[in-house]
């Protein structure tokens, strides 16, 4: 459907890199300067060769038997993702999820900032959440193109997601981060990243099922 | 760190199955009864052989040149994940993210229900969100073991996540779904599913970067 460009970097790698980044930030804060893949693997429960491979995608190599300088590694990941260039985004749908995303200061670390939010409800329009004003949905398309916004976040209910996407795309948005549990149809040249919250839950519940069947799970502490 | 049992099903498959499920529900609603991997692949922008492989993990095979009965496929995925057995869960940290998860009715579809929420703040304790009462954190461990709760959701700030996990584990919880941007340390036999919201963002921004470099992105509509 989408004529997608070649993404030669595997998505699991892309998903692990931010995790390394957060972990390395903490490690640096705790006073450490050098780290090995073995050490990272032990702390994050991952295979060291996989970690080495993941990190190599950012263009960095460790020194054999020594490891990586954490500071250099952090810079390498930042540059890889382009986190030094701030991306401004619009959000549509100011319910709990929308507010959670607006409030989540952690995104700044990733060069990402929600600069305006849009909703249909008169109860919310004009209010401010986390310094971000809620504007009427009718202004979305126009403001997108005027402010040259390229990323849109959808946190609407299911049935309103496609309309929000269409308005975003009409305004020139090319990257949509979709939290609504609905598949969005988009024209060629627009990327949709679906964030289905229930996915993590499904993975967890399947792992628990297997754990219970294996009989290896932890018994109540006070038995 | 965790002595994990063997999960022979690849995590990317586990993550795609709920997506198929949602999509197939919609398809069924629209009046369709049979579907092929080619059709699914076209709609979800995935390779048909990959889809066939993913679905086979649930124990189902399609009929060559015909496809799958959607109803049967849905049942197969439900049974695979055990969604017919309702899992009750406790949540700690009733901020915007916590409320978004409590409100998200979609989880019921996945056999998952948050039955109580816990927080430290006197402003919130005693209030009810989406029919779920907020209780003081001090009651968490005791209630966990009394109600035999096995799954815990953490939506606290960063610094409070480890304490919440420790209290959950003391109460007998063996599966933790962690939304706090912090790595949680747990003893053997406890599974942690980390949900870093920024991961999806990182994947999206990297894809956008590649798209922009390829020059293939959609230009403003009205230029």
CB-nearest partner of B193 from A11, A82, A204 = A204
Distance from CA of B33 to the nearest CA of A (A): 19
H/E element, B41: helix B37-44
Chain A closest-CA separation from residue B62 CA (Å): 23
What is the radius of gyration, based on Cα positions, of chain A? 21
Contacts of B45 in chain A (CB under 8 A): 1-2, 4
Mean pLDDT across chain B, nearest whole number? 87
**DSSP three-state, residue A114:** strand
Question: What percent of chain A stands above pLDDT 70?
Answer: 92
Of B104, B191, B209, the CB nearest to A211: B191
CB A134 within 8 A of CB A113: no
Residues of A in contact with B110 (CB under 8 A): 198, 201-202, 205
- The CA distance from A70 to A190, in Å, is 35
How far apart, in whole angstroms, are the C-alpha atoms of residue B196 and residue B91? 17
Token digits of residue B92: 């700690």
pLDDT at residue A119, rounded to an integer: 97
> Is 70 exceeded by the pLDDT of residue A222?
no
Query: B154-173 pLDDT, tens per residue?
Result: 999 989 999 999 999 999 99
Q: B102 and B132 in contact (C-beta within 8 Å)?
A: yes
Q: What's the average model confidence in pLDDT over A79-85?
A: 81
List the beta bridge partners of residue B128: B133
What local confidence, expressed as pLDDT, does residue A217 receive?
Answer: 60
Q: Which tens digits make up the pLDDT trace of A156-174?
A: 998 999 999 999 999 999 9
pLDDT on residue B61: 86
Spatial separation of the C-alpha atoms in residues A162 and A140, rounded to whole Å: 14
Among A46-60, A141-155, B125-139, B183-197, the least confident range: B183-197
Position B32 confidence tier, pLDDT thresholds 50, 70, 90: very high
Question: In angstroms, rounded to a whole number, what is the distance separating the alpha carbons of residues A204 and B176?
Answer: 8
How many A-B residue pairs are in contact by the CB < 8 A criterion? 242
- Summarised one tens digit per residue, pLDDT across range B4-28 is 444 578 888 888 998 899 899 989 9
> B8, B79, B203, B218: which to substitute to probe chain A, counting the most A Cβ within 10 Å?
B203
B174: nearest Cα among A200, A137, A204? A204
State how far the Cα of B194 lies from the Cα of B165, in Å rounded to an integer: 12
In chain A, the domains with their CATH numbers are 11-81 (1.10.10.10), 87-198 (3.40.50.720)
Give the pLDDT score at B7.
59
Q: Cβ–Cβ of A100/B104 closer than 8 Å? A: no
Task: Give pTM, 2 decimals.
Answer: 0.77
Contact B197 A104 (CB under 8 A): yes
Is residue B38 classed as helix, strand or coil in its secondary structure? helix
């Amino acid at each position: 459907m989408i004529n997608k460009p070649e993404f030669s970097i595997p998505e699991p790698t892309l998903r692990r890199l931010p995790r390394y980044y957060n972990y390395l930030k903490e490690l640096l804060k705790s006073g450490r300067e050098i780290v090995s893949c073995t050490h990272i693997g032990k702390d994050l429960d991952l295979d060291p060769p996989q970690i080495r491979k993941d990190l190599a995608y950012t263009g960095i190599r460790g020194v054999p038997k020594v490891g990586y300088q954490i500071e250099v590694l952090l810079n390498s990941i930042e540059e890889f993702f382009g986190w030094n260039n701030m991306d401004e985004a619009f959000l549509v749908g100011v319910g709990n999820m929308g507010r959670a995303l607006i409030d989540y200061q952690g995104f700044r670390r990733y060069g990402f900032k929600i600069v305006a939010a849009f909703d249909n409800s008169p109860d919310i329009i004009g209010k401010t959440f986390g310094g971000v004003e809620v504007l009427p949905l009718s202004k979305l398309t126009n403001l997108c193109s005027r402010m040259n916004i390229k990323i849109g976040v959808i946190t609407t209910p299911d049935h309103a997601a496609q309309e929000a996407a269409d308005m975003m795309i009409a305004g020139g948005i090319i990257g949509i981060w979709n939290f609504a549990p609905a598949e969005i149809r988009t024209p060629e040249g627009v990327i949709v990243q679906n964030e289905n919250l229930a996915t993590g839950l499904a993975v967890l519940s399947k792992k628990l099922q297997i754990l219970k069947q294996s009989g290896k799970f932890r018994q109540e502490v006070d038995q």
